[in-house]
Structure 1
Amino acid sequence: MKRFRLLTACLPLALVALPALAQDLAMTAGKNAKVVIDNDKVRVIELQMAPGQSTGMHSHGDNIVVFLSSGMAMQTMADGTTRAMERKPGEVIWSDPVTHDTKNTGKAMVRTLIIELKEPKP
C-alpha cells in the first residue's frame, strides 16, 4: 500500500519532468545537432537536416537563427498550429522563447546556427 501511495505521488512529477527533459534541441535532433559552443552566456548549435528530417518537438529560450543555406521548412508549434517558411543563406532572425518542431520540406540539406541566449546569473 505504501508503494502504491509513493508511486501515485511521484507519477505526476514524472509526467511533468520527463517531457521537459526531452525538449532540448541537442537531444531531440540527435546527430543532426552539434553543440559547438556552450558557456555561461550562450549555447550555439549547428543544425543540419536532410530533406524530410525533423528536429522533434523542442524548446528554446530567446535565440538567434543564422541560415547557412537556403531551404524550406514547416514549423509545428506546441499548440498544433503550423507555418511554412522559406529562408535564404545569410538570413538572420530573432525568436522569442518557443516550443516547436521543424521539418525540412525542401529538396536539399538545410544548415543553420542556433544561438541560444542564457539568462545572466545574479
Structure 2
Amino acid sequence: MADDPVQTNPDNYRVVFENDRVRVLEYTDEPGHISTEHHHPDSVMITAGSFHRRLHARGTSVEVELLEGAVRWLPAQDHYGENTGSTPTHVFFVELKEPDPNPTPDGPQLGPVKLWPA
C-alpha cells in the first residue's frame, strides 16, 4: 500500500480538518506537476476549480476532466497523478476513516466515479 499523500506530497496536500470519523485534505498543484504515488481511503472529492489530469495505477492510466463544483466518489486506491491541463488543480477530499464493509474483489475503479447527475 502506498503512503499518506500528506507525507508523500507535502507541498500539495494539507489537512484542513480532522476528527475521529473523517479527515479533509486540500490539494493544489500547477500544470505539468506529477505527484508521488500515494493512497486515498474511500473519499468524497469536491473540485474547487476545473482541471484536467491523468491518473496512473497498476499499469493503467485514466484521463480525468472535472468542472469547478463537481462532487465525486473516490473509492479507496493507490495512484499518482499528473496535471495535464492548462489550469491549476484545486480539490478537497473528505476521507472516510471507516473501511468499506463490502470491498470490490477486483479492486477499486481508478479515479473518481460519477454516481448521480451533477
TM range (shorter): 0.7 to 0.9
Question: 2:37 corresponds to which residue?
Answer: 57
List runs of 5+ in structure 2 lacking aligned partners.
100-118
Between Structure 1 and Structure 2, which shows a larger proportion of helix residues? 1
- For the 8 Å contact 1:25–1:55, the answer to whether it is kept is no
Bigger-Rg structure (1/2): 1
Displacement over 6 Å in runs of 4+: none
* CA deviation vs aligned residue, 1:1-52 (integer Å, no higher than 9, x gap): xxxxxxxxxxxxxxxxxxx5x6111112221111101211111010001011
2:6 partner SS: helix
Q: Could you say what the CA RMSD is over the residues aligned between the two structures, in angstroms?
A: 1.4
Q: 1:105 aligns with which of 84, 107, 117?
A: 84
Aligned length: 99
Q: Give 2:20's aligned residue.
A: 40
So what's the TM-score if we normalise by structure 1?
0.76
- 1 CA distance for matches of 2:29 and 2:69? 17
